[in-house]
Amino acid sequence: MTFQVFTDQFEQFIGTNFWTMIFAWINILIMFLVLRKFLFKPVKKMIDSRQKEVDDMYANAAEANRAADEMRSDYEQKLAKATEESEQIVRDAVRKAQFKEEEMIKDAEAKASRILARAEEQIELEKNQAINDIKNEVSGIAVDLASAIIARDVDKAEHEQLIDDFIKNIGEENS
């Protein structure tokens, strides 16, 4: 079997000419190369650029999320620190207020103690003064009584009468 016979049989089976088919394949190949050059490459380039834009958008979104998470974390830390500092300030203020209150109470107690001590001293001085005044008055009374007794020579009944009269006169002088 020769090649011609094979081609003839092939043409009969397929119904096409072998050379037509080769030219068709060559045309398809040329068309593929032309389309590849002018259509597929620009379309592929456009698709790749779009894919790059989408990837960049996702990368930017991921970066923005990371930055937002970092900012939120910083904010939460600052908020916790501020809360802790405010609680410390309140504790310090309460402690200072308690200390000031204790100082004021101690000062008030000390002043009250000094006032009471001065009052007791004043009472003691006035008591001593009153006792001295009474002693002086009694001494004066005794002297007056003694001079009245010495001025007269009296017996016991007269002596008692003089003391009673003297006591009555003292009561009238004081009232």
pLDDT at 9 over 60: yes
What's residue 148's pLDDT? 66
Per-residue pLDDT tens digits for 12-32:
666 666 787 899 899 999 999
Domain range list for the chain = 3-133
pLDDT band per the 50, 70, 90 thresholds, residue 109: very high
Q: What is the three-state SS of the chain?
A: CCHHHHHHHHHHHHCCCHHHHHHHHHHHHHHHHHHHHHHHHHHHHHHHHHHHHHHHHHHHHHHHHHHHHHHHHHHHHHHHHHHHHHHHHHHHHHHHHHHHHHHHHHHHHHHHHHHHHHHHHHHHHHHHHHHHHHHHHHHHHHHHHHHHHHHCCCCHHHHHHHHHHHHHHHHHHHC
In this prediction the pTM is: 0.39
Return the percentage of the chain with pLDDT > 70, whole number: 85
Q: What is the pLDDT of residues 26-67, one digit of tens each?
A: 999 999 999 888 888 888 899 999 999 999 999 999 999 999
